[in-house]
């Protein structure tokens, strides 16, 4: 079911999400349906009002469900100018690692590990932060934001 984005001031965006239970395909389908509604490269469950650790990421290898992720930071920190569906008119600078190891479950509940670099690493970290209750606004290097 397609869900609308929650407003940027919603408390759910500030909360750490609960793990997704095995075979919960409803949250995954809601993410897919909501993702199709507009151009984006990532969407996390709390952004559509679901307090579960699940995201949909458009990696260079394709669209991927990322459930119950863990991240290991491998690279060096680099500045990233980011936008977010939760803050549609803001661009801000955030420090991100240029290389990460992402461990997660996919849509068929296969456990996966991936070493991600470049834009894939940035997407994974941005969506992971949403699941931890951390928005790009909280991580911004400065509190001066640019309008998108």
Catalogue all structural domains in the chain, each as residue range(s) with its CATH number.
Answer: 11-147 (3.90.45.10)
Q: What is residue 117's predicted lDDT score, i.e. its pLDDT?
A: 98
- In angstroms, what is the C-alpha Rg of the chain? 14
Q: What is residue 23's predicted lDDT score, i.e. its pLDDT?
A: 79
Burial 93-105 (b: 16+ CB within 10 A, else e): bbebbbbbebebb
Instruction: Please report, rounded to a whole number, the percentage of residues in the chain having pLDDT higher than 90.
Output: 82
Answer yes or no: is pLDDT of 51 > 70: yes
* pLDDT tens, residue by residue, 104-134: 999 999 999 999 999 999 999 999 999 999 9
DSSP string, 44-98: EGGGGT--BSEEEEEETTEEEEEEEEEEEE-S-EEEEEEEETTEEEEEEEEEEES
* pLDDT tens, residue by residue, 13-29: 999 999 999 878 899 99
Answer yes or no: is pLDDT of 144 > 90: no
- The model carries a pTM of 0.93
Q: Which two tokens stand for residue 143?
A: 């509190």
Report the run of H or E that residue 132 belongs to, with start and end. none
Q: What is residue 146's predicted lDDT score, i.e. its pLDDT?
A: 65
* Candidate list 11, 18, 113, 127, residue with the active-site label: 127
Q: What is residue 145's predicted lDDT score, i.e. its pLDDT?
A: 64
C-alpha 119/C-alpha 116 separation (Å) is 8
Minimal CA–CA distance to 62: which of 21, 112, 25?
112
Catalytic site includes residue 127: yes
């Amino acid at each position: 079911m397609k869900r609308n984005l929650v407003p940027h001031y919603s408390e759910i965006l500030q909360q750490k999400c609960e793990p997704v239970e095995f075979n919960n395909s409803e949250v995954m389908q809601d993410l897919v349906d909501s993702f199709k509604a507009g151009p984006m490269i990532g969407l996390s469950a709390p952004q559509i009002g679901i307090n579960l650790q699940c995201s949909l990421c458009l990696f260079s290898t394709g669209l991927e469900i990322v459930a119950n992720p863990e991240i290991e930071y491998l690279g060096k920190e680099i500045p990233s100018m980011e936008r977010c569906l939760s803050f549609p008119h803001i661009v801000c600078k955030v420090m991100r690692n240029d290389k990460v190891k992402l461990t997660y479950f996919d849509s068929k509940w296969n456990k996966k590990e991936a070493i991600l670099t470049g834009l894939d690493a940035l997407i994974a970290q941005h969506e992971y932060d949403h699941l931890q209750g951390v928005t790009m606004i909280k991580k911004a290097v400065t509190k001066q934001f640019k309008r998108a």
